[in-house]
Structure formats: C-alpha cells, structure tokens
Homo-oligomer: A and B are copies of this chain.
Amino acid sequence: MLFFTQCFGAVLDLIHLRFQHYKAKRVFSAAGQLVCVVNPTHSLKYAPTLCAAAQTSTEQGILPPCHHHEAVHDPQLVPCMCPLFSCPWEGHLEVVVSHLRQTHHINILQGAEIVFLATDMHLPAPTDWIIMHSCLGHQFLLVLRKQEKYEGHPQFFAMMMLIGTPTQADNFTYRLELNRNQRRLKWEATPRSVLECVDSVISDGDCLVLNTSLAQLFSDNGSLAIGIAITTSKVHNSEAEM
C-alpha cells in the first residue's frame, strides 16, 4: 500500500514538474529554448563540521568572509562554489566542473539561451539555486541566492560566473531577464570569474538584486523563471548602443 502511495506521489510530482515546465515555456516563448527546473539547495544541508563557524554566522544571516584570499595560496585554487559557504572543498579551475557534477549533482546545460526555473522561492534564507551552463566553448555557473543581508529582509541575488579566469570572463556578456504581468526586468553585465567570491559580487551590487515583493511579482506559483543569454563581447559597445 505504501509502495502505491509513493508511486502515486512520484507521478504527481512528475505532472507538477511537467506543468511548471510548460508554463515556463509559454512565458519564454522563443522556440527551442531549453527550460531547466532548478530545485533549491538549502545551504545548511551539506554543511560539514569544518565549517561550524561559518554555519553559525550564516544562521545569524551574516555570511562568513570569503576565505579565498586568506586560506588559498595558489590563486588558481578555488573554493567549492556549491553551496559556496558550506563546502570545504578547494581545487584547481580545471576540476571545478567535475566536483560540482559528482559531489553536488549540479546539472550542466547546453545552449546559448536557456530558461532557469527556480522552484520553492518561499524557502527561508540562506538558500541557493545553481546550475552549470555550457556555452561558447566555456562553462558558466548561474547562482541564485536568497540571503538576509539585513535580518528579516531576505533578498535574491542572481549572477553568472565563468568557470575560468577574470580575463577570460571579460570576453563575455550575459543577460538575465524576468518577464511577467507586463513587467520586464533585464540585467546585462560581464560575468565574474569563480576565482572571485559570490559574497564580494553581492556586496559590490554587481548582480541582479530582487527584494521579496519584486520576486513575488515575477514568480508564478512559487517558481521564478529567469531567461539567460550569453554572448561574446569582444567590442564593448553597450554604452554606445543605448
């Protein structure tokens, strides 16, 4: 009996996913755009004992300082990006992708334009939604983080990072787009390198920032669809275009 109940639950989940997928496709109407349903990664889930101090400060809504520049002597060594402040792993750029896939089961998607559908936006901070994106011969990491920079005031921060050096990152431009209820919000920027720190990107304000009411405005039934596009930007003419 329990077996049948579980099967029925799984079928319902599948129908629900399928429905979300369909809705996201409808909103982001472009033919051939890949929609990826991304489930949240609550940041404390993987928290190891090594990060006890970091975990405590996270629980207080304050992120631990980025330990990249302090503990890592080899500048090509990066701390694990998933979820950044609770995984003690460090490694060279070349093995970041395999670590993310194998240890954290992060999906990797192909294509220049995809739709990132983050589910369960109501979950308490800190929470991360992460996917990898393979495009233009490089791997990118899309991080959506719900975080309380100020207690009782959760915000969402979305950014694209290149799994590569800052110099390589300068060759690209990414666009994040929200579109719902005749409202549209677009963020265009140069991706940051994973050698930099998510925390510093957030404190620099160099990402798409949403407060909860703005996130609700663009959410549909607790899910937020973010259209993503990456292009090369050898000649930076974004200012001249305007």
Contacts and interface: CB of A to CB of B under 8 A. Distances in A.
Contact of A29 (B153, B177, B187, B242): B242
B29 A240 contact: yes
A211 B217 contact: no
A239 B205 contact: no
A30 interface: yes
Interface in A171-213: 173, 177, 179-180, 182-190, 203-206, 208-213
Copies of this chain in the oligomer: 2
A152 interface: yes
A135 to B, nearest CB: 19
A213 B217 contact: no
A242 B189 contact: no
Contact of A183 (B188, B203, B212, B217): B188
A187 B189 CA distance: 15
Contacts of A204: 213, 217
A186 B183 contact: no
Interface in A194-242: 203-206, 208-217, 227, 233, 236, 238-240, 242
Contact of A238 (B30, B149, B182, B187): B182
Interface string A15-35: 000000000000111100000
Interface string A143-156: 00000011011010
Contact of A182 (B152, B155, B184, B236): B236
Contacts of A173: 182
A182 B186 contact: no
Contacts of A177: 242
B183 A28 contact: no
Contacts of A208: 185
B183 A206 contact: yes
A21 B227 CA distance: 35
Contacts of A210: 209
3 residue pairs, one from A and one from B, having the closest CB atoms: A205-B213, A205-B214, A184-B188
21 contacts: A27-B242, A28-B242, A173-B182, A177-B242, A179-B238, A179-B239, A179-B242, A182-B236, A182-B238, A183-B190, A184-B187, A184-B189, A184-B238, A185-B186, A185-B187, A185-B188, A205-B211, A205-B213, A205-B214, A205-B215, A209-B214
